[in-house]
Copies of this chain bind each other. A is one copy, B any other.
């Protein structure tokens, strides 16, 4: 009975086809201007077909947001080879910011838009992809603390603070709230801010 296995495979391929089309359209014209009908048209299926594979828009958005987290994780993984946790932490920050500006619509779905988390709550599921990435940060911070490379503080507090700081910069930029600063200066200011923050948290010998 290889048929039901093929069917299952075809179902996954179809889910992926929809996800891929959605991701592309989000990237091309923004997720706000992308409708179910747009996605259906792109893959040459009826809008109703999408609902055979995704319960609703929130579930589809969750799928795309999950793809984003996988992409981010792939970019973070190589950094785990960096022995010095302090240097690793800094590089993680750079990677995070770069990811955000290279894939602003993924970032939006991952950390700003409500829909994906709405889906999570509806189905009482765990936020695995989000937690997986957060753990990279928390573990690195914890290692910095163990080796007394940064000033002592509760690990959760440190991780939360660093995450908040970087997300704050990124999300305020994405949502256009840094118009008091010239756009072309923002990248340099980001780096200066992150350098400054690293200096502040680093334990003085």
Residue numbers of A with Cβ under 8 A of B are 32, 111-114, 117, 120-121, 127, 130-131, 134, 151, 153-154, 156-158, 160-161, 163-169, 171-172, 175-181, 189, 192-193, 196-197, 200-201
Who on chain B is nearest to A204 by CB?
B204
Please give the distance in Å from A191's CB to the nearest CB on chain B. Answer: 10
Per assembly, the copies of the chain total 2
- 17 interchain pairs (CB within 8 A)? A111-B172, A112-B175, A117-B175, A117-B179, A120-B179, A121-B176, A127-B179, A130-B179, A151-B200, A156-B181, A161-B193, A164-B164, A165-B165, A166-B168, A168-B168, A168-B171, A200-B200
Q: Enumerate the 9 nearest inter-chain pairs by beta-carbon distance, A residue then B residue, closest first.
A: A168-B168, A164-B168, A164-B169, A200-B200, A167-B168, A165-B165, A117-B176, A161-B193, A157-B192
Chain B residues near A151: list those with CB within 8 A. Answer: 200
Please give the distance in Å from A124's CB to the nearest CB on chain B. Answer: 12
Pair B114/A176 contact, Cβ less than 8 Å? yes
Pair B163/A168 contact, Cβ less than 8 Å? yes
A169 and B12 CA atoms in complex are apart in Å by 37
Chain B residues near A176: list those with CB within 8 A. Answer: 114, 117, 121
Who on chain B is nearest to A135 by CB?
B180
Chain B residues near A164: list those with CB within 8 A. Answer: 164-166, 168-169, 172, 193
Who on chain B is nearest to A166 by CB?
B168
A127 and B169 CA atoms in complex are apart in Å by 18
Pair B165/A161 contact, Cβ less than 8 Å? yes
Chain B residues near A177: list those with CB within 8 A. Answer: 111, 117, 130, 167
Please give the distance in Å from A90's CB to the nearest CB on chain B. Answer: 15
